[in-house]
């Protein structure tokens, strides 16, 4: 279960990069490629294994208005289900 103190990071072998041709983020992992929506990409950029869910939510709320912790948890839950995010 994800809590405010949970610390997400990309799993081993998973890499977030920006595709300049398509002008979008792509998530590369051994099983394939995922094109995250802008919200998921913003969350993924902050999944460094050092920041908690609370810290990620705070950082996003400084960049965007209307960021809700439950939305961040929802994105992280879906990414966890896809097995691209791990928890430290």
What confidence tier does 1 reach under pLDDT thresholds 50, 70, 90? Answer: confident
Give the CATH number of domain 8-82; options: 1.10.10.1800, 3.40.50.880, 1.10.10.60, 1.10.10.1150.
1.10.10.1150
pLDDT score of 24: 96
DSSP 8-state symbol, 45 = H
Give the strand pairing for 32-34 and 85-87.
unpaired
**Which residue's entry shows tokens 């999944």?**
47
What confidence tier does 83 reach under pLDDT thresholds 50, 70, 90? Answer: very high
User: Residue 78 above 90 pLDDT?
Assistant: yes
- Distant-in-sequence, close-in-space partners of 23: CB < 8 Å, separation ≥ 6: none
Note the pLDDT tens digit of each residue in 13-40: 999 999 999 999 999 999 899 999 999 9
Whole-model pTM? 0.93
């Amino acid at each position: 279960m994800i809590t405010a103190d949970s610390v997400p990071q990309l799993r081993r072998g998973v890499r977030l990069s920006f595709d300049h041709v398509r002008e979008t983020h792509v998530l590369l992992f051994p099983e394939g490629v995922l094109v995250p929506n802008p919200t998921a990409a913003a969350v993924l950029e902050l999944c460094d294994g050092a920041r908690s869910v609370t810290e990620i939510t705070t950082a996003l709320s400084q960049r965007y208005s209307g960021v809700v912790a439950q939305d961040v948890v929802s994105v992280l839950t879906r990414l966890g289900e896809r097995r691209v995010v791990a928890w430290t």
